[in-house]
Structure 1
Amino acid sequence: FVKAAREPLSYVGVNVVGLRRRGFSDEQVTRIEDIYREIFVRNNNVERAVQNVEQTLKPSPERGLILDFIRNSPKGIMRGLVE
C-alpha cells in the first residue's frame, strides 16, 4: 500500500494512484493513509504505533490486513519518514 524511497530505504507515502487503479474507494484510501500516518509519521516505535492504531482507529478490513502484516513480518518493517 505504500511507497518507499531514499537511502536508507524509508516510507514516503501511500501509493494512492496504485490503490485507486486496484479499485479502492476514497474512504478505503483515507483509512489506509490514517493507519500509515500513525505508524510512520508520528515517530512512535512500531509496537506503540500498532497499539495507537488499535485504540484510536475503527476496525476495518484495511486495518486488519496492515496490522496482521506488521505482526507477522519476520524481519520487521521499514523505517518511518527520515528527514
Structure 2
Amino acid sequence: MAYSASTKKSQDILTCGLCETDTKIKVKCMDCDLYGCPKCTDKLHAKFKNTDLHDIVALKDLHSHIEDTDVTSEFKPVKCKDQ
C-alpha cells in the first residue's frame, strides 16, 4: 500500500475549557477565550476575579458577535498553497 501525501484529518470534539470533560458546550467567554458547559459557566467561571465584567456569548450568537465587534479586521488574507 502506497503512502498518501494527503491525510484525512478529523475535527476535534470541543470540550469545556474548565472541567475538560463535558461536551455540551453552550457559551464562550471572549475574555478568557474558553468554551464552557452550563454547569462550569454558572459555578466555576463565576468564582474567578472580575468575571462579572467578562463578555459571555452563547455559541448560537458567536458569529454575529464577532461581526459586531469587528474582530474580522484582524485577520489577514492567506494564499492557498495548492494554487
* Bin for the TM-score computed over the shorter chain: under 0.3
Of the two structures, which has the highest relative contact order with CA contacts closer than 8 Å and spacing of 6 or more?
A: 1
The structure with more helix, counted as a fraction of residues: 1
**Higher Cα Rg: structure 1 or 2?**
2
**Length-normalised TM-score, structure 1:** 0.25
**Length-normalised TM-score, structure 2:** 0.25
